C-alpha cells in the first residue's frame, strides 16, 4: 500500500525454522533483530515466516518466498548437530541440489572441534554438509557454519538459530550480501490529549500527500487518557527525502496543536 | 517429520499483520503467546507468518494457509481506527465477501465511545465494518472488536495487535473456537558435561522409538562447557502417553550417565 522506501533496496524475506517457535517456548527475536538490521541498511523486509524443522514446510516456504519476489531469503535455525537440524538438507531438496560435504565448511568444523579437543563424530561432520554450490559462512560464536548460495538470481542466506550466533554471523558477513544502501532517518512526535481515532484522518492525509515518507502511530495510553507516539521515517540518504521527512513531522506537530492536542517530549 | 501430538488437535496458523513487525520495531510476542496458549490447549501451530498492512500480502497469506491445510487461522493486528488498519477489508477481499457494517460490532463500538464521551467519527465507525457473515468478538481491554467467521470449513479469527488486547480477547473467547483438547505434559532433563553433538545420536534414537513423544534439546552453555536442557513432552491427557513421556525422560537420564555425562537440577 505504502511506498516505504526510495529506490536502491533489496526485497527480503525471513524464514525462522524450529518447532520451539511454534509452541511458544521461544520468542522470535532473531526475526526482529534481522529486520531492524536490514531496515537500518536500507532494505525492505516484506515477510517473516516460521515453520517447524520439517523438510516439506521449509520447502514450501522457500517456493513461496521465491514466487512472491524475494531477492534475499534469510533463514535462521536448524544448522546444528542434532537429529532435527535439517535446514541444509531441506534447502538442498527444495532447490533440487545435492547435499554434499563442503570442504571449506568441513575445515571450519574440524578446526573448532580440534580446538575443543573433541572427536569429529558423524553428527558434527553433518554440519559441513551443504547444498551443492554453497559458500560457507564462518561462525564467530558457535560451531555450525552458516552458508549462502545464489539460486536463479535469489540470494539465500542460512544462519544458525542461537541469537548470539545469528548476530555474530550476520555482522561478520552482511556487507557481502546486504550492503548498506541507505539509513533509517526518523522523527518522533509524541501526542497527548487526542485519541488515536481523532489523529487517524490527519495522518491519513499526510500519508496520501507524502508517498516517500512512512508514518506509523503507536498508542501508548488508553483511548481515554491518550498518549500516541508517531514515527515519521524514511530509509534514504537523499537529503531531500530527509528534509521532507522532517517537514512532515513539523506539519504533524502544527496540526495536532490546531485540533486541540498537545505535543509532548 | 515428528508426530508431536496425539489425535484430537486442530491445525493452526498464525498471521501477524503490521509493518512495525517488519522493521524490527516490535518483537512478535503475540505469536509466541498465542502459540503457547494453543499448545497448552492441545492444538498444533504449524506456521506463523508476518506481513505488512497490505491487502495483497494479507490475501496471499490467507490463500496459502487455507491451501496448506490450516483448520484455524488466527490473525493479529490491523483492526484499529487508523488509515493502515485494513485487516477486515483485506480478509473480506481475500474471501470474496463484502465488507459490511456489523450491527453487533457497531453497538460495541458505539457503547465504548459513549462511555468515553467521544463522538462516533467515520474512523471509529470503520472498526464495526466486518466481512459479511462475521461474528464480532468483544474487546474487554480496548475499543476495536475482533471477529470470527467460518470460510469453507476454515475458522478465521481476527484479533487486535496490542498485546494486552490480544490476551484479553483470546482468553475471553478461546473456549468457543479453540477448546481445551489436551494439556502439555513435560519432563525436563538437564545434562552437563556432554556437548550437544554427543547427545544428538542418543536423542535421535529415542525419538525414532517413541513417535508420540516430542524431544527438543536446548543448549544453554557452549560446546566446551556444556549445559543442555532437554524437554521431553507430549500434549495429551491420555495417562498412557504421559507415562511413556516420563519413561522416555528416565531412559534419557540413564543413558546420559552411561556415556559419562551428568544429570543436574
CB within 8 Å: B216 and A84: yes
pTM, 2 dp: 0.82
Query: What pLDDT is recorded for position A215?
Result: 85
Q: What count of other Cβ atoms lies within 10 Å of the Cβ of residue B183? A: 15
Q: Which residues contact B69 (CB under 8 A, 6 or more apart)?
A: B11, B46
Question: Which residues does chain A have within 8 Å of residue B44's beta carbon, measured at their own beta carbons?
Answer: 22
Cα B238 → chain centroid? 23
> How high is the pLDDT of residue A184?
76
- Give the whole-angstrom CA distance, residue A80 versus residue A96: 22
- Per-residue pLDDT of chain A in tens (265 residues, 90 and over written 9): 233 333 337 899 999 999 889 988 899 999 999 999 998 888 889 999 999 999 999 999 999 999 999 999 999 999 998 888 999 999 999 999 999 999 999 999 999 999 989 899 988 999 999 999 999 999 999 999 999 999 999 999 999 999 999 999 999 999 999 988 877 788 999 999 888 888 888 888 888 787 677 888 887 765 556 789 998 888 777 788 788 889 999 999 999 999 999 999 8
Q: How far is A125 from chain B, CA to nearest CA, in Å?
A: 10
Q: What is the mean pLDDT of chain B?
A: 89
Which 93-132 residues of chain B touch chain A by CB within 8 A? 112, 116, 118, 121-124
**B41 part of contact set with chain A, CB < 8 Å:** no
Residue A208, C-beta contacts closer than 8 angstroms, at least 6 positions apart: none
Q: Alpha-carbon dihedral of residues A204, A208, A212, A218, nearest 10 degrees?
A: 0
Rounded to an integer, the average pLDDT of B118-143 is 94
pLDDT at position A72: 97
Give the integer Cα–Cα distance in Å for A216 and B44: 33
pLDDT at B238 over 80: no
- Grid coordinates in use for A160? 544458525
Does residue A212 belong to the interface with chain B, where contact is any CB pair within 8 Å? no
Locus of grid cell 496540526: A255
pLDDT at residue A224 in the model: 55
User: Min CA distance, B25 vs chain A (Å)?
Assistant: 7
Least confident of B165-169, B178-182, B210-214, B228-232: B210-214
Q: Tell me the pairing of strands A184-192 and A262-264.
A: antiparallel
Rg (CA), chain A: 22
B102 close to B169: Cβ distance less than 8 angstroms:
no
Asked whether the beta carbons of B226 and B194 are under 8 A apart, the reply is yes
On the CB side of A237, CA atoms within 13 Å amount to 10
Taking CB atoms and an 8 Å limit, are B196 and A80 in contact across chains?
yes
**Residue B16: closest C-alpha in chain A:** A48
CA B244, CA B255: separation in Å to the nearest integer? 16
Please list every residue in chain A whose beta carbon sits closer than 8 Å to the beta carbon of residue B57.
46-47
Shortest Cα distance, chain B CAs vs residue A159, angstroms: 17
- Its sign, for the CA torsion B62, B65, B68, B70, is negative
Write the DSSP symbol of residue A220: -
User: Quick check: A22 and B37 CB within 8 A?
Assistant: no
pLDDT, residue B235, reads 73
pLDDT of residue B181: 80
- Residue B219: which region, alpha, beta or left (left: phi > 0; alpha: psi -120 to 50)? beta
The three grid cell numbers given for residue B210, joined into one nine-digit string? 517413541
| pLDDT for the residue B3 | 33
Neighbouring residues of B54: CB distance < 8 A, sequence distance ≥ 6: A1, B86, B90
Cβ–Cβ of B199/A26 closer than 8 Å? Answer: no
Averaged pLDDT for residues B169-186: 88
Residue A126: per-residue pLDDT? 94
* Beta bridge mates, B158: B75, B147
Looking at residue B223, its pLDDT comes to 53
* Distance, CA of B41 to CA of A135 (rounded, Å): 43
How close, in Å, is residue B241 to chain A by CA atoms? 19
- In this predicted structure, the answer to whether residue B130 has a pLDDT above a threshold of 90 is yes
State the pLDDT at residue B7: 34
First vs last C-alpha separation in chain A: 30
Amino acid at each position: 500500500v505504502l511506498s516505504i522506501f526510495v529506490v536502491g533496496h533489496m526485497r527480503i524475506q525471513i524464514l525462522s525454522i524450529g518447532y520451539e517457535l511454534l509452541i511458544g517456548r521461544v520468542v522470535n527475536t532473531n526475526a526482529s533483530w534481522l529486520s531492524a538490521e536490514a531496515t537500518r541498511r536500507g532494505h525492505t523486509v516484506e515477510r517473516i515466516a516460521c515453520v517447524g524443522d520439517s523438510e516439506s514446510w521449509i520447502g514450501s516456504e522457500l517456493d513461496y518466498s521465491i514466487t512472491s519476489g524475494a531477492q534475499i531469503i534469510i533463514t535462521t535455525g536448524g544448522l546444528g548437530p542434532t537429529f532435527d537440524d535439517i535446514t541444509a538438507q531441506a534447502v538442498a531438496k527444495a532447490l533440487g541440489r545435492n547435499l554434499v560435504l563442503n570442504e571449506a565448511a568441513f575445515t571450519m568444523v574440524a578446526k573448532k572441534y580440534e580446538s575443543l579437543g573433541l572427536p569429529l563424530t558423524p553428527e558434527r561432520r553433518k554440519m559441513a554438509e551443504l547444498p551443492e554450490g554453497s559458500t560457507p559462512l564462518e561462525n564467530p560464536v558457535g560451531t555450525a557454519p552458516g552458508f549462502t548460495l545464489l539460486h536463479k538470481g535469489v540470494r539465500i542466506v542460512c544462519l544458525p538459530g542461537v541469537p548470539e550466533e545469528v548476530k555474530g554471523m550476520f555482522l561478520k558477513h552482511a556487507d557481502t550480501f546486504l550492503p548498506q544502501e541507505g539509513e533509517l532517518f526518523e522523527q518522533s512526535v509524541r501526542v497527548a490529549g487526542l485519541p488515536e481515532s481523532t489523529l487517524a484522518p490527519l495522518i491519513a492525509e499526510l500519508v496520501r500527500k507524502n508517498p516517500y515518507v512512512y508514518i506509523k502511530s503507536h498508542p501508548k495510553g488508553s483511548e481515554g487518557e491518550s498518549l500516541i507516539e508517531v514515527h515519521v521515517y524514511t530509509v534514504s540518504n537523499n537529503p531531500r527525502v530527509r528534509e521532507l521527512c522532517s517537514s512532515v513531522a513539523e506539519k504533524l506537530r502544527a496540526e495536532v496543536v490546531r485540533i486541540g492536542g498537545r505535543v509532548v517530549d
